[in-house]
Amino acid sequence: MGKKRYFERGCLQAKKSYEIIKKNIKKNIKEILIFSSALNRAYETAEIFSSKIQPKPEINKLYQLNERYYGDYSNANEKNILSYVPEDAESSISFQERVHDIFIELLSKNSNKGIIIIVSHQKVFECLTNWLIGEKLKLSQGGVCSFKKSNKGFNYKIFDEK
């Protein structure tokens, strides 16, 4: 699939995500806070999403919401690529700690300000859901998952329109 086709698909998914959230938010929104991965494809999605909201909310670009960094494979031998582990690769534990720490920070600073929207990547959401609800949640591209704090932790609901 070419870059243009991926971009068009991403635009459509961002618009659908906005419609899902708009349709399913039942309370009066004081403020919408958007936090995005600093990687281009997530940030572009956040821009499309925010352009639908008036007044347009600021997008907070956070590298801590980036996908896990698997390292530079440019020096890998093609014959041993599966066993090659780049020296600069982010460990699974470091990745999980990074995601956990930024989520705690976002909640502690913003939980009473309105709706927090995070635009990120599959592994980031898998990490968050595993930590919040003890499950490895698979969310399809363009999918929306809502988390709400309860007395027993967090509840979630998936709005996954394909």
We report the CATH number of the domain holding residue 153 as: 3.40.50.1240
Convert the pLDDT of each residue in 69-113 to its tens digit: 999 988 888 888 888 888 999 999 999 999 999 999 998 888 777
The Cα 162–Cα 153 span in angstroms is 29
Range of the domain at 77: 3-159
Quote the pTM value.
Answer: 0.82
Alpha helices per DSSP H over the chain: 3-24, 40-51, 92-110, 122-133
Total domains present in the chain: 1
pLDDT at 102: 94
Of the candidates 100, 101, 66, 69, the residue with the CA atom closest to the CA atom of residue 86: 69
- Choose between 1 and 90: higher pLDDT: 90
The number of CA neighbours under 13 Å toward the Cβ of 40 is: 3
Q: How large is the average pLDDT for residues 139-145?
A: 73
- Residue-wise DSSP of 52-89: TSSSPPPEEEEGGGSPPP----TT--GGGGGG---TTP
